[in-house]
Structure formats: structure tokens, C-alpha cells
Amino acid sequence: MTIRVLLADDQALLRATFRILIDSCEDMEVVAEAADGAEAVDGARTHRPDLVLMDIRMPGTDGLAATSAICADPELAAVRVLILTTFEIDEYVARALRAGASGFLGKDVTADVLLDGIRTVAAGESLLSPTATRTLITRFLASPAESAQSAAPEDLAALTAREREVMAWVAEGHSNEEIAEKLFVSPLTVRTHVHRAMTKLGARDRAQLVVMAYQSGLVRAVPPAGDA
């Protein structure tokens, strides 16, 4: 299968560079470009790409608003959003994850990392390293601001005790392999529990499962060491 990508960035030169890079791969192609968030949303509805490579800071409708619009549209449920940002960890990224983005990359990543990131997100996985997950959670996702919940505590009643346990470990930034070691099971078993939890809660991917874990109160953030 060919991964169909929509590029959303206000810098024409950067879009051209990404297009050349992506189109050079046999397993992916650029199907459309957008210079702002409004064009990204229109392009997503017109072309139904597998993935939108989305810059956050754009004039007019920014990438955050565009991500919210795309992820909230039931007809675009299959479209994944991968955020590109100059600042790998910032509040805008956390807000984009709340809105349904599947992960993020810094603009200074290598070509191989970018292409692997596209493949990862297009496959339905999230692109969040354990370190990035912990940083986002402790500083932004559990903050009082923007406290609208995407999962209420009662929603977790549909999960088994093991699924809730695995979800909590995921929310704390642990990989499937790390969770498997803690629970004395195989990584495949952990992956199965993660996907069942996602299905029951209607989570688009692992990133949204993390957000739901904190916003439902399943786990609570601990302030980073040194914070007042």
C-alpha cells in the first residue's frame, strides 16, 4: 500500500523539500499541499490522505485549529495527523495531542527519522517517545487549563482490570517491552491489551489513550523534580 500524504506548512521551500523526499520513497506519495490550516482541512476532505504532516505555527488558521477540525470530523476518522514543530515540547503540541494528533516531530529531524515517523503514524501507532510522553504529561496534559475530558472515569468501566493497568503504564511513558517485563507477559500480549483499550474507549491511537488516562483520572501527573 502507498501512504498518501498531505503537506501543511506555510513555507513553500520546506514543502517542496518534503515533497521531493516523500515522493522518492516507493511506499508513499504527496497527494496535496496546504499553506495554512484552512487549506489543510479542505485538502483532507477532498483528498482523504492517510496522513497530514502538519506545521503548528501558520498564518490564519493554524495547525492546532486544523488538527482539531480534522480529528473531530467523523468522515476523516482514518486520517492521521503528525505534527511538525520547531519546538519539540511545547504547550501547542500538548493541545494538538488533546485534539487527536497522533504524534509530533521536530523540524530538525533527519530524513530517515521523518520517513519512519510517517510510516509509524500511518500504520496506526503514535509517535511519542517515553521521554516526550512524560514531559508532555507532567507539564501540560494534567494542568487545570483546558480541562475538558475526552474520557470520564465511568467510561473506564468497560475496561478489564488488566487493560486499566496497561493503560496506566502506557500513560506513564513506558514502551510495550517495558510493560511486558513488569507484568511478566509478552510484548504482543501488552499490544493486544492496548488495542482493546483503544477500541473500547474509541481512542484513535496510543497518543489519545495517554490523554484519556490522565483526563479521566486513571493516573495523575507528578510535578517534575525541581518544580515548585
pLDDT in tens, the chain (228 residues): 899 999 999 999 999 999 999 999 999 999 999 999 999 999 999 999 999 999 988 888 899 999 999 999 999 989 999 988 776 556 777 777 778 888 888 778 889 989 988 998 888 777 765 556 666 666 666 565 544 445 666 778 899 999 999 999 988 878 888 899 999 999 999 999 999 999 999 887 787 888 888 878 888 765 545 444
**SS3 category, 82:** strand
Kindly report the backbone phi and psi dihedral angles of residue 36, in degrees, each rounded to the nearest multiple of 5, phi listed first.
-155, 175
- Which residues have a Cβ under 8 Å from the Cβ of 40 and sit 6 or more positions away? 6, 8, 34, 52, 54, 61, 63, 66, 70
**SS3 category, 32:** strand
Distance, first Cα to last Cα, the chain: 50
Nearest to 80 by CA among 205, 177, 183: 205
Is the pTM of the predicted complex or chain greater than 0.75? no
Rounded (10°) angle between helices 63-72 and 91-99:
10
Q: Which CATH architecture has domain 3-139?
A: 3-Layer(aba) Sandwich (3.40)
Residue spans in the chain of domains classed CATH 1.10.10.10: 149-216
Q: Provide CATH code, domain 149-216.
A: 1.10.10.10
β-pair partners for 82: 53, 103
**SS3 category, 103:** strand
The CA-based diameter of the chain, rounded to the nearest angstrom, is 50
Residue spans in the chain of domains classed CATH 3.40.50.2300: 3-139
Alpha carbons 23 and 29: distance in angstroms, whole number: 5
Alpha carbons 162 and 165: distance in angstroms, whole number: 5
Looking at residue 99, what is its pLDDT?
82
Looking at residue 118, what is its pLDDT?
92
